[in-house]
Structure 1
């Protein structure tokens, strides 16, 4: 079953909005993590960690999953297909990698940083575990944000063209 043009446009709009929310929130979370590395107030430090954790759980995860699912629907119900175009395959692989990395590492690290800062407040800046997690989240968040930019560029440019044979 193929979607009608207006149905495809609604689904594509939902897909773009989901991806935009994911990118925007990931970028804001990265900016908070980078900009607020050293605080003079432990309550503010904890608040930033708690906000980043909530952003991940309440915005990044749902928007990433919505982006993935709507992308899979677009592949299923449009002429793009799952394996006809190299750029679609690249987007699928990169999106799934980001969701796995976010679920396995970035989300749990952010939750751990929030937990540590909740109890230690400002002293957390002397805690090597916290500092290590903070630095890993900054690097991981930067990589995630850059890969999201790459996915957006791939979506717009649609490089690599169609595969010679479809699976």
Structure 2
């Protein structure tokens, strides 16, 4: 197995692992918030919101960042692309919506719930988040709906350094988030900008001429 294929598989592995972690933490938030909502015990309610805040900052948000980062890198650096296939495009849109909702809606509400207690909307939101990630996993397996417009020849697969950067950058951002207690995906964002800027200059031919079945991109 050549170096590029090995690191590409590691990127796919990290994407799957972080996506599963994102979904698991969304489900954990749903359980904790619903427990706090259903109880009349102030201590239980306070514990549920405190643990929800910690889970969101230290686990859910970092996993979401790594999942989104590796997914974008795989789309940018493989023949799947962003807009060639409907299922990839739908995954991309769902990811952007999830990130926006998590960063600008759910996280601030969790901060507020530390004072006022959980609300039903938070339980619904976390359940929808987990369901959306499960739907994205189904899209990756089923790959429905076909190409966007007329079928075009796939783009090139990126060089090995792109997948090395995806794996090491994702792990570095995850480790930094665990140390700081909150995500700070500056490295991931910088790597995405670099890859998108240079991807048109790649001359490496796609392995096998087209994406391999069963790959998540």
**TM > 0.5 fold call:** yes
Q: Where does residue 50 of structure 2 map in the other structure? A: 50
TM-score if structure 2 supplies the norm length? 0.64
1:24 is the counterpart of 2:24? yes
Q: Is the 8 A contact 1:8 1:78 kept in 2?
A: no
**Runs of 4+ off more than 4 Å:** none
1:10 is the counterpart of 2:6? no
1:14-46 CA distance string (max 9 Å, x none): 000110100000011101222332334322211
Once the two structures are overlaid, the 10-residue window that deviates more, 151-160 or 35-44, is 35-44
1:82 is the counterpart of 2:82? yes
* Secondary structure of residue in 2 paired with 1:37: helix
Gaps of 5+ in 2: 153-217
Q: Where does residue 189 of structure 2 map in the other structure? A: none
Once the two structures are overlaid, the 10-residue window that deviates more, 80-89 or 7-16, is 80-89
Q: Where does residue 139 of structure 1 map in the other structure? A: 124
TM-score if structure 1 supplies the norm length? 0.82
Cα distance in 2 for partners of 1:159, 1:165 equals 14
Q: Where does residue 139 of structure 2 map in the other structure? A: 154
Structure having the higher helix fraction is: 1
Q: Is the 8 A contact 1:29 1:52 kept in 2?
A: yes
Q: Is the 8 A contact 1:87 1:159 kept in 2?
A: yes
Once the two structures are overlaid, the 10-residue window that deviates more, 76-85 or 88-97, is 76-85
Count of matched residue positions in the alignment of Structure 1 and Structure 2: 150
Give the CA RMSD over aligned residues: 1.8
